[in-house]
Chains A and B, each alone.
Chain A
Amino acid sequence: MTALAFSLPDRRRLLGMAVPFIAVIGSMIVGLLLIAASGKDVPDAIEAFMDGAFGSAFAIGASINRAVALSLVGLGFILAFRANLTNVGGEGQIAVGGIAATALGLWPPIANLPLGLAVIVPLLGGTLAGAFWGGIAGFMKVRFGTNEVISTLLLGFVALLLVYWCVQSTALLRQPQTSSATLPESLPIADAVKLPGLTGNSESPLHIGLVICLLLAIATAIVLQRSTFGLRLRAIGLNELAVRRAGMPGGILLVVALAIAGAFGGLAGAIMLQGEQYYLKTGFSSGYGFDGLVVGLLSRGSTVGVLAGALFFGFLRSGGISMEIMAQVPAALTLVIQGLIVIAVAGSVILVEKLQGGR
């Protein structure tokens, strides 16, 4: 995979990678300054951050699990982006994936399936739900000419409210209301539906989602760089009209591209549910869709870039949470850092083009 991704180790590629790197460093420095300005002890905060991100088997496992969800959304994003489609709906695709995985996982006939099918069927269900959600945007684009940015964004909000609906109504997924204190959440899924751990160490939450993610990352790299399908995506991204004139089924390709992006999001949702959260609640997707989009964008279309970005954001999130608990530095600081990185990278596109001596 490394060979695939670094097959063009020229100056342009290095410059392209340097910008996110500089943005990350710069934003981290701003973050440190903010900690200092707020009167908190900087070494304390750094120690809490490191502890939460890398300090224990638990911390590392939790960070990598976060990175898995982010990578999946990011991989789906770069696939669709190859066809010049911007999928802003990751958050909603995670949500519908989570709903489907919960519904299937709580259904006894499926929870009692043998041979690991109790794990696999909800994962596939979540994937399909996400694919359907992304596919709607693709269909609207082809049939009505609706800009996918607008439709995926709107569908995202609908999906988030669907989660809210599901956990508010006992007719849907809400746990039976035994008292007025019953929380608006689903029942927890059975152990048979939970993703198996990867390390055998009961301390570490690391689960087989990592393996699934790495396999899909390799598949994505191959599809993007070595397959006819990848080539067609690129072609339609560059010139839709020409692709249609050449007799390729352009419309279907667009729907498939967005459905695949959605499928990755849906799978991420199912993995988040079956791997760590175990029950559905409002706000279940907690920003992973938008963060995954950011990861996809920063990667500039490279699979390795997605994995690296996702790891960075995964550790950033874990460290941020720990910083809030142990050093009283609000975890919102990590949002500030993320936002600055995104804006800096987006703003420097022209600069990079100039430096590369391109267009």
Chain B
Amino acid sequence: MEEMLAIFIASTLRLAMPLMLAASGELVSERAGVLNLSLEGMMLTAAFFGALGSWASGNPYLGVACAILASVVVSAVQAWLSVNLRANQLVVGIGFNILALGATTLLYRIIFGGLSREEIPGLPKLAVKGLSDLPFAGTAFFQQSVIVYVGLALIVLIWAMLNHTSFGLSVRAVGDEPRSADKAGIPVAATRWKAVLITGFMAGFAGAFISIADIHTFTENMTNGAGYLALAAVIFGGWNIGRTVAACLLFGAATALQFQLPAMGINVPTAFLLMLPYLLALLAVAGVVGRLEPPTSLTLPFQRGK
């Protein structure tokens, strides 16, 4: 029983990790007023180019770098479209997701074609010295892929940046009151650009986690809605980083349960567990778990003098 619980915690962490990375990145951008429905596409692009980079170079760390680079490029185009061209952020996001699914599938077939499902060089699991052998906590927390520890550090960094730096203050200002922020001398466009690039960086990390650290290969549409789940986590977390991370863990736990419960002889429909995150997010946006305050200018482009 205890061992099962330890495995459950470990798989919750593993499943929640890409969500936490992507959601905390997306949070920055949404606090700045830009909604990236393209999060799913960024993650998928990153997962593909991460796998490609790792496979071509034989070095998983180079793979991670490729993943992040690819995702940042996507986010730069997203930023240009939503900030400079003031395009409808939802439409652009949907377009990117269609494009990412098509392009990664196409490239995968062309490049990997016959060698499909080939294993790529993955990241090692890092057993934390002295801690990984602990009877319970060892299995639960300290035998994770190296990227998990880096990712957790990045999330703490984002928390600190949002809440304790002047850049974080600017981000929140341009997301809530871009007009006042502009008058106060905060560069709205530049701040939003940076925020979207941070989203791209984190989504790249999340995608790399999925293909390089977790699955060790690329499969078509391998993110399979994780980006949307991360968006739901931001909503369920009420645009607050602590609660967003907690939401990701909850969603990860719900997904992990579908493997655990049958093993324990408990019969809950898998579909219900998979549905749970979306139902919770729906309840959250309906205000059931307390009034949510989305950033006031979320999805609204800013133009000086209008």
On A, residues with C-beta under 8 Å from B are: 34, 38, 86, 88, 140, 143-147, 149-151, 153-155, 157-158, 161-162, 164-165, 168-169, 290, 293-294, 297, 330, 332-343, 345-351
Please tell me which one of the listed residues B99, B228, B271, B278 contacts residue A335 in the complex, with CB atoms under 8 A apart: B99
Point out the residues of chain A lying under 8 angstroms from B77, CB to CB. Answer: 343
Q: Are A336 and B103 in contact (CB under 8 A)?
A: yes
The prevalent SS among residues of B at the interface is: helix
Residue of A nearest to B306 (CB): A359
Q: B187-200 interface mask toward A, CB cutoff 8 Å, 1 = contact, 0 = none?
A: 00000000000000
21 residue pairs A–B, Cβ–Cβ below 8 Å:
A38-B110, A140-B285, A143-B286, A150-B285, A154-B282, A155-B278, A158-B278, A162-B271, A165-B272, A168-B270, A169-B269, A297-B91, A332-B105, A332-B106, A332-B109, A339-B95, A339-B96, A340-B95, A342-B92, A342-B98, A347-B85
Contact A343:B90 (CB < 8 A) given known A38-B110, A146-B285, A332-B101 = no
Other than the given A147-B294, A154-B285, A332-B109, 19 more pairs (CB < 8 A) read A38-B106, A86-B90, A147-B285, A149-B299, A157-B228, A158-B282, A165-B269, A290-B98, A293-B94, A330-B105, A330-B109, A332-B103, A332-B105, A335-B101, A335-B105, A339-B96, A341-B95, A348-B85, A350-B87
Q: Are B94 and A290 in contact (CB under 8 A)?
A: yes
A158 vs B229: C-alpha distance when bound (angstroms): 12
Point out the residues of chain A lying under 8 angstroms from B103, CB to CB. Answer: 332, 335-336, 339
Q: Are B102 and A334 in contact (CB under 8 A)?
A: yes
Q: Are A346 and B278 in contact (CB under 8 A)?
A: no
Point out the residues of chain B lying under 8 angstroms from A153, CB to CB. Answer: 37, 228, 231
A233 vs B286: C-alpha distance when bound (angstroms): 24
Point out the residues of chain B lying under 8 angstroms from A155, CB to CB. Answer: 278, 282
Q: Is B59 an interface residue (CB 8 A)?
A: no
Point out the residues of chain A lying under 8 angstroms from B99, CB to CB. Answer: 335-336, 338-340, 342-343
A342 vs B81: C-alpha distance when bound (angstroms): 12
Point out the residues of chain A lying under 8 angstroms from B180, CB to CB. Answer: none
Point out the residues of chain A lying under 8 angstroms from B100, CB to CB. Answer: 339
Residue of B nearest to A333 (CB): B106
Q: Is B20 an interface residue (CB 8 A)?
A: no
Point out the residues of chain A lying under 8 angstroms from B95, CB to CB. Answer: 294, 339-343, 346
Q: Are B94 and A342 in contact (CB under 8 A)?
A: yes
Chain B proximity of A92: nearest CB distance (Å):
10
Q: Is B86 an interface residue (CB 8 A)?
A: yes
Which residues B13-58 have CB closer than 8 A to chain A? 37
The prevalent SS among residues of A at the interface is: helix
Point out the residues of chain A lying under 8 angstroms from B232, CB to CB. Answer: 154
Q: Are B225 and A157 in contact (CB under 8 A)?
A: yes
Chain B proximity of A125: nearest CB distance (Å):
21
Q: B58-91 interface mask toward A, CB cutoff 8 Å, 1 = contact, 0 = none?
A: 0000000000000000000100010001111011
Point out the residues of chain B lying under 8 angstroms from A165, CB to CB. Answer: 269, 271-272, 275
Q: Are B106 and A330 in contact (CB under 8 A)?
A: yes
Point out the residues of chain A lying under 8 angstroms from B299, CB to CB. Answer: 149
Residue of A nearest to B101 (CB): A335
Q: Are B272 and A346 in contact (CB under 8 A)?
A: no
Point out the residues of chain A lying under 8 angstroms from B282, CB to CB. Answer: 140, 151, 154-155, 158
Residue of B nearest to A344 (CB): B95
Q: B253-289 interface mask toward A, CB cutoff 8 Å, 1 = contact, 0 = none?
A: 0000000000000000111101100110110011100
Q: Are B235 and A332 in contact (CB under 8 A)?
A: no
Point out the residues of chain B lying under 8 angstroms from A145, CB to CB. Answer: 287
On B, residues with C-beta under 8 Å from A are: 37, 77, 81, 85-88, 90-92, 94-103, 105-106, 109-110, 225, 228, 231-232, 235, 269-272, 274-275, 278-279, 281-282, 285-287, 294, 299
Q: Are A164 and B85 in contact (CB under 8 A)?
A: no
Q: Are B285 and A144 in contact (CB under 8 A)?
A: yes
A150 vs B299: C-alpha distance when bound (angstroms): 12
Contact A336:B81 (CB < 8 A) given known A146-B285, A350-B86 = no
Q: Are A151 and B285 in contact (CB under 8 A)?
A: yes
Chain B proximity of A138: nearest CB distance (Å):
13
Residue of A nearest to B95 (CB): A342
Point out the residues of chain A lying under 8 angstroms from B271, CB to CB. Answer: 161-162, 164-165, 168-169
Chain A proximity of B135: nearest CB distance (Å):
37
Contact A343:B81 (CB < 8 A) given known A154-B281, A155-B282 = yes
Q: Are A161 and B275 in contact (CB under 8 A)?
A: yes
Chain B proximity of A31: nearest CB distance (Å):
10
Point out the residues of chain B lying under 8 angstroms from A158, CB to CB. Answer: 275, 278-279, 282
Q: Are A347 and B81 in contact (CB under 8 A)?
A: yes
Point out the residues of chain B lying under 8 angstroms from A341, CB to CB. Answer: 95
Contact A161:B274 (CB < 8 A) given known A336-B102, A338-B102 = yes
Please tell me which one of the listed residues B88, B228, B285, B286 contacts residue A346 in the complex, with CB atoms under 8 A apart: B88
Q: Are B286 and A164 in contact (CB under 8 A)?
A: no
Q: Are A149 and B90 in contact (CB under 8 A)?
A: yes
A246 vs B171: C-alpha distance when bound (angstroms): 38
Residue of B nearest to A38 (CB): B110
Most buried by A among B106, B287, B299: B106
A147 vs B89: C-alpha distance when bound (angstroms): 14
Point out the residues of chain B lying under 8 angstroms from A154, CB to CB. Answer: 232, 235, 278, 281-282, 285
Point out the residues of chain B lying under 8 angstroms from A347, CB to CB. Answer: 81, 85, 87, 92
A340 vs B41: C-alpha distance when bound (angstroms): 13
Point out the residues of chain B lying under 8 angstroms from A290, CB to CB. Answer: 94, 98
Closest 6 CB pairs of A and B: A339-B99, A335-B102, A342-B95, A165-B271, A332-B105, A339-B98
Most buried by A among B87, B99, B270: B99
Point out the residues of chain A lying under 8 angstroms from B106, CB to CB. Answer: 34, 38, 330, 332-333, 335-336
Point out the residues of chain A lying under 8 angstroms from B225, CB to CB. Answer: 157
Please tell me which one of the listed residues A161, A340, A348 contacts residue B278 in the complex, with CB atoms under 8 A apart: A161
Q: Are B102 and A332 in contact (CB under 8 A)?
A: yes
A140 vs B281: C-alpha distance when bound (angstroms): 13
